[in-house]
Homo-oligomer: A and B are copies of this chain.
C-alpha cells in the first residue's frame, strides 16, 4: 500500500442503515498501515436509522483527500443524493480516491456522483434497478468489482464486501486471519436472505411493505440523475 498511511473515509449521513457502515468499519479499522476516518457533511453527531447516534464525526469539507471512499446505504439516501453539499464533498473526495466503494443503496451515491456510468455495481435487491438512471449496470452479485469500484449488496453484504476489500488492500493472508478473528462462519437461521430463496409469501410481504416507498425514492433518483446530464453550472447549485 506504499509508504504513507492509506486513508479510508467513511462518508455517513443521518438516517443511514448503521450496519451498512459498522460491519465494514470493523474490518477497515483493523487494516494495517491505514487510518479510518468517520466523516459527515455537517460533522459531529449523526443519528442512524434505528436510533444509534455516532458522535465526533469529522466534516467532509475538512478532509483534503483519501485513498478509499465508502458510502453506506439507507432509506435516507434518496435525500442525500439530492443534497448539494454532501454530493459536492463526496464528488471531490471520490476524485482523489483510488477505490470507490459502497454497501447496499450506498451505490446510489456513487451513481449520483456520476461515477458509475457503464460500470457494474451491487445494491440492495429491492432497489437495485435504481442504478439504471445513473447509467450503471445493476449486478446481483453480493460483492461486485468493476475496476477500482467495489460495491456490496444489501445491508449484511457489508461483511463479505469488507473482507474482499481487506484482501485487496492487505492481502489474502491478512483477510483470512481477520475472518477467523471475527469468527465469520455464518449460519443464517433461515434460507431466505435473497428473493431467489425466500418463500413466496415472505417475498410478497416484504415487497408489499416496501412498495409505498417506491414512488418517492424513484422520484429522488430521477431528480439526481437529471442533474448529471444538466449543464455543469447547474450541478454546483
Q: Which residues of A contact B (CB under 8 A)?
A: 17-19, 22-23, 25-26, 29-30, 36, 38, 45, 50-56, 104, 124-125, 142-143, 153-157, 159-160, 163-164, 167, 172-173, 175-177, 179-190, 192-195, 197-199, 202-203, 205-206, 209
Contacts and interface: CB of A to CB of B under 8 A. Distances in A.
A187 B142 contact: yes
Given A45-B55, A50-B25, A164 B189 contact: yes
A187 B18 contact: no
A193 to B, nearest CB: 3
Nearest to A50: B29
Contacts of A36: 50-51
A50 B143 CA distance: 24
Name the 8 nearest CB pairs between A and B, nearest first: A154-B183, A185-B193, A55-B55, A186-B186, A22-B22, A29-B50, A53-B55, A184-B193
A217 B124 CA distance: 40
Kindly report how many copies of this chain are found in the complex they form together: 2
Given A52-B25, A54-B55, A176-B199, A206 B181 contact: yes
Given A143-B187, A160-B186, 19 more contacts: A18-B22, A22-B52, A26-B155, A52-B54, A53-B54, A54-B55, A104-B183, A154-B183, A156-B182, A167-B189, A172-B190, A176-B190, A176-B199, A179-B190, A180-B192, A180-B195, A185-B188, A185-B193, A185-B194
17 contacts: A19-B26, A26-B155, A29-B50, A36-B50, A38-B52, A45-B55, A155-B182, A155-B184, A156-B159, A159-B186, A163-B190, A176-B199, A179-B188, A179-B192, A182-B193, A183-B193, A186-B186
Given A18-B26, A198-B180, A206-B181, A175 B156 contact: no
Contact of A184 (B38, B188, B209): B188
Binding site of A, secondary structure by majority: helix, strand, loop or mixed? mixed
